[in-house]
C-alpha cells in the first residue's frame, strides 16, 4: 500500500496508465540567423496560444469555467510583452537558440514563484513548468502524449497533473489519479475535485513503483493506493465505492432544504468562490449565499489595476447570480507573496506578517476607494445584500478607518452603506474580538490563517505541519472566544476556512454558536447533512468533553468516536 494526500474523494478501481515526464533535450549551439530564430520563437508562441485557447474552450464545456480560467492564465502569461522581450534579448545578445531563451526565462519565473511566501503563489510554478514543456515541444516538433483516447477504467499515474493534461484527457474513462507531487490547494487537487475523480497526491516514487497496466485501487477518502489488490481487497473496495455513491445519492435529499440542526436550530451553508463565474457553481450546488469572494483574482495576471466599472460588473454579476442571497466580498488581500508587477509590491522575508491586505489598502487609499465605490454601487443596484469583509485586521483603528472610507464612498454616490465586517484571522483580532465586534456588522473566521498564526506554524512548511492543526485546543478555544464575542454583540458569525466543512468540527461549531458555514460548492450538501445530525444538547456534550483535553491528538481521537 502506498500513502499520499487524499485530495479528491471517492474510490477508483482500474488499470494504471503512466504518463512519464521525460526530459526534453535540444542542441544549445549559438544561432546564426538571429531574426529567423526570433521569428521561430514567435511562431511557436502563436501556436501555443492558439492551442491553449482551444483547450480552454473544450475545458469550459467539459469541466467548468473556473478550471478553464486556470489554463487561460497560461495564455495571459506567455502573451506578456515583458516575458517575450526577455526571450528575444537572449537570442539577440547571447545568441541563444529559441529553446534555450524560452527555457531560461520561464525557469526564472518558475523559481520566483517557488520562493513565494504563500502556497497559492507557489502553485503557479506548476503553471510555468507546464507552459515551458509545451512550448519546447512545439519548438522541437515533439508530439504530446495521447490522453484523448484512453480505455475505460484508466488510472492516470504521473509526476503532476498539469492543467493542459487535464484539458486534454478523456475525463469519462479516467477513474482515478495518482501523482508524485501536489497538495490540497494544487492544480492537481482543484482539477480532480472539479472533475469528481478520486485522487491521491504526493505519492513517493509512484511512477517508478507502479507498473503500466497493473490493477490498482485509488482511495481518495483515506489517501491510500493499493497496488495489485487481492480478490478480497477488490471486493471490499467495490463495496466501499457503492457505499460512497449511495451516500452521494442520500445527500440529494438535502437539496433545497433549510440548513438546521436536528432540533430545528437554524444555520446557513454559504460558499467560498474566487471569481464571478464560481457563483454559478455555488448557486447550482444549493449554497445559501457567498461567504467569501476572493477579489484578488481580479487584480492578478494583468498589466494594470482593474477600474471601478470593471470591478462593479464583477461584484454585481455574483450578486445577480445569487438572486438576492447574501454575498460577502473580501476586499483586496495581496502582499509581497504575490507577483503583481504594477502594484510595485516589495518582496519581503516574511510576507505573511508583512505589508499586505488591509495594510496595503489603507496606504493606497485612491486604489482602495475604487474598490469600495464599486462595492457600494453593486450593493445598491442588486438589492442591498452585499457585505464587505476586511482581511488581516490587527487593530481596531483599521476597521474604523475602513468604515469611514465606506461611508465616504456611499455619501459621494448617494447610496446606502453596505454592512462591513472583519475576517478574524490574526491573534490580535481574536484577543480584541469583544471590542472589534462593536465596530463590525459581522465576523467571518478565517481558520486557515488563524491556525497558522496562533500556532506560529507556516501552513506551507512540511517541517512544522505537525503543529498546524485546527484540532489544537489553543485554536478551538480561540474559535469559542471569537464566536462568543460576536454573539454577545448581537452580530452574526461565520467561518470561511476549511474547518467549516470538517465533519468532526461541526458539533463543536454548533455548540459554540456559529451561524454560517462557508465551504467549497461541492461540500454544501455534505455540510448541511452533518449539521442536521446534531441537536444542540448533543453538540454541547461533545464540546464539554473536548474542552477538557490537552492535545490535538486527543481531540481528534475524541471527535472520531463522537461522530460515530
DSSP 280: H
Q: What is the pLDDT of residues 39-54, one digit of tens each?
A: 999 999 999 999 999 8
> Pick the catalytic residue: 97, 271, 361, 496?
496
Q: Retrieve residue 557's grid coordinates.
A: 481521537
Structure-block grid coordinates of residue 289: 449565499
d(CA 425, CA 403): 19
Active site residue 496: yes
Say how far apart CA 400 and CA 397 lie, in whole Å. Answer: 5
Rounded CA-CA distance 176/159 in Å is 14
CB under 8 Å to 39, separation ≥6 — which residues?
none
- For the chain, domains (ranges, CATH) are 28-140 (1.10.274.10), 154-251 (3.50.30.10), 253-562 (3.20.20.60)
**Angstrom distance (rounded) from CA 258 to CA 541:** 24
Angle subtended by helix axes 98-114 and 34-62, to nearest 10 = 50
pTM here is 0.68
Residue position matching grid coordinates 467549516? 500
The partner residues of 216 in beta bridges, in order of sequence, read 14, 227
- Determine phi and psi for 452, rounding to 5 degrees: -70, -30
Catalytic residue selected from 74, 97, 187, 319: 187
Write a three-state SS string for 146-178: CCCCCCCCEEEEECCCCHHHHHHCCHHHEEEEE
Distance CA 165, CA 112 (A): 24
Q: Kindly report the CA angle at 331 between 82 and 69, in degrees rounded to 5?
A: 50
255 three-class SS: coil
271 given a catalytic annotation: no
Half-sphere exposure (Cβ direction) of 451: Cα atoms closer than 13 Å: 23
Q: Which pLDDT tens digit goes with each residue over 96-135?
A: 999 999 999 999 988 887 776 555 566 778 888 889 999 9
Q: Considering just the CA atoms, what is the radius of gyration of the chain in Å?
A: 25
| 371 neighbors 337 (Cβ within 8 angstroms) | no
Of the candidates 192, 226, 171, the residue with the CA atom closest to the CA atom of residue 4: 226
Question: Taking a C-beta distance cutoff of 8 angstroms, is the pair 212, 18 a contact?
Answer: yes
H/E stretch holding 81 reads helix 81-94
Residue 356, C-beta contacts closer than 8 angstroms, at least 6 positions apart? 333, 334, 335, 336, 337, 392
Residue-level pLDDT, tens digit, the chain, 564 residues: 899 988 888 999 999 999 877 778 888 877 878 999 999 999 999 999 999 998 888 877 766 666 677 788 889 889 889 999 999 999 999 999 999 999 999 999 888 877 765 555 667 788 888 899 999 999 999 887 778 889 999 999 998 887 778 777 888 899 999 999 876 666 667 777 778 899 999 899 999 999 999 999 999 988 999 999 999 999 999 999 999 899 888 999 999 999 999 999 999 999 999 888 788 889 988 999 999 999 988 888 778 889 999 999 999 999 999 999 999 999 999 875 566 778 877 777 777 788 889 999 999 999 999 999 999 999 999 999 999 999 999 999 999 999 999 999 999 999 999 999 999 999 999 999 999 999 999 999 999 899 999 999 887 777 888 898 999 999 999 999 999 999 999 999 999 988 999 999 999 999 999 999 999 888 899 999 999 999 999 999 999 999 999 999 999 999 999 988
CB 340 within 8 A of CB 334: yes
Amino acid at each position: 500500500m502506498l500513502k499520499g494526500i487524499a485530495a479528491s474523494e471517492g474510490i477508483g478501481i482500474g488499470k494504471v496508465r503512466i504518463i512519464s515526464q521525460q526530459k526534453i533535450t535540444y542542441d544549445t549551439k549559438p544561432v546564426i540567423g538571429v531574426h529567423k530564430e526570433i521569428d521561430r520563437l514567435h511562431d511557436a508562441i502563436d501556436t501555443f496560444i492558439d492551442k491553449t485557447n482551444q483547450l480552454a474552450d473544450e475545458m469550459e464545456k467539459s469541466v467548468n469555467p473556473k478550471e478553464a480560467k486556470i489554463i487561460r492564465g497560461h495564455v495571459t502569461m506567455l502573451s506578456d510583452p515583458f516575458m517575450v522581450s526577455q526571450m528575444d534579448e537572449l537570442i539577440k545578445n547571447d545568441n541563444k537558440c529559441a529553446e534555450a531563451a524560452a527555457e531560461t526565462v520561464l525557469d526564472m519565473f518558475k523559481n520566483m514563484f517557488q520562493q513565494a511566501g504563500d502556497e497559492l503563489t507557489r502553485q503557479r510554478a506548476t503553471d510555468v513548468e507546464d507552459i515551458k514543456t509545451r512550448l519546447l515541444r512545439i519548438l522541437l516538433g515533439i508530439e504530446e502524449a495521447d490522453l484523448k483516447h484512453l480505455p475505460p477504467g484508466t488510472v492516470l499515474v504521473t509526476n503532476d497533473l498539469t492543467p493542459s493534461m487535464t484539458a486534454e484527457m478523456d475525463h469519462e474513462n479516467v477513474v482515478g489519479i495518482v501523482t508524485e507531487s501536489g497538495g490540497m490547494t494544487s492544480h492537481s487537487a482543484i482539477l480532480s475535485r472539479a472533475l469528481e475523480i478520486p485522487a491521491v497526491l504526493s505519492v513517493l516514487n509512484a511512477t517508478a513503483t507502479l507498473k503500466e497496466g497493473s490493477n490498482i485501487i485509488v482511495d481518495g477518502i483515506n489517501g491510500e493506493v493499493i497496488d495489485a489488490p487481492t480478490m478480497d481487497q477488490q471486493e471490499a473496495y467495490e463495496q466501499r465505492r457503492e457505499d460512497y455513491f449511495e451516500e452521494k445519492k442520500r445527500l440529494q435529499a438535502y437539496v433545497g432544504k433549510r440548513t438546521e440542526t436536528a432540533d430545528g436550530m437554524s444555520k446557513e451553508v454559504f460558499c467560498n468562490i474566487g471569481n464571478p463565474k464560481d457563483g454559478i457553481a455555488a448557486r447550482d450546488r444549493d449554497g445559501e449565499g457567498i461567504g467569501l469572494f476572493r477579489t484578488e483574482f481580479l487584480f492578478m495576471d494583468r498589466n494594470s489595476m482593474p477600474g471601478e466599472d470593471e470591478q462593479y460588473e464583477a461584484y454585481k454579476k455574483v450578486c445577480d447570480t445569487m438572486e438576492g442571497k447574501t454575498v460577502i466580498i473580501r476586499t483586496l488581500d495581496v502582499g509581497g507573496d504575490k507577483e503583481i508587477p504594477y502594484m510595485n509590491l516589495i518582496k519581503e522575508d516574511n510576507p505573511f506578517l508583512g505589508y499586505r491586505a488591509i495594510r496595503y489598502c489603507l496606504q493606497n487609499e485612491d486604489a482602495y476607494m475604487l474598490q469600495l465605490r464599486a462595492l457600494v454601487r453593486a450593493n445598491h443596484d442588486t438589492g442591498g445584500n452585499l457585505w464587505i469583509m476586511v482581511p488581516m485586521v490587527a487593530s481596531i483603528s483599521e476597521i474604523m478607518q475602513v468604515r469611514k472610507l465606506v461611508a465616504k464612498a456611499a455619501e459621494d454616490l448617494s447610496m446606502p452603506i453596505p454592512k462591513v465586517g472583519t475576517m478574524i484571522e490574526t491573534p490580535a483580532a481574536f484577543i480584541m474580538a469583544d471590542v472589534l465586534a462593536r465596530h463590525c456588522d459581522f465576523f467571518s473566521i478565517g481558520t486557515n490563517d488563524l491556525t497558522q498564526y496562533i500556532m506560529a506554524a507556516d501552513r506551507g512548511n512540511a517541517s512544522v505541519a505537525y503543529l498546524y492543526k485546527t484540532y489544537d485546543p489553543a485554536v478551538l478555544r480561540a474559535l469559542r472566544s471569537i464566536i462568543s464575542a460576536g454573539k454577545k454583540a448581537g452580530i452574526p458569525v461565520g467561518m470561511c476556512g476549511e474547518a467549516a466543512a470538517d465533519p468532526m468540527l461541526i458539533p463543536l461549531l454548533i455548540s459554540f454558536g456559529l451561524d454560517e458555514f462557508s465551504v467549497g460548492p461541492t461540500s454544501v450538501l455534505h455540510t448541511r447533512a452533518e449539521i442536521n445530525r446534531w441537536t444542540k444538547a448533543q453538540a454541547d456534550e461533545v464540546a464539554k468533553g473536548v474542552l477538557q483535553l490537552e492535545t490535538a491528538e486527543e481531540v481528534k481521537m475524541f471527535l472520531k468516536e463522537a461522530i460515530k
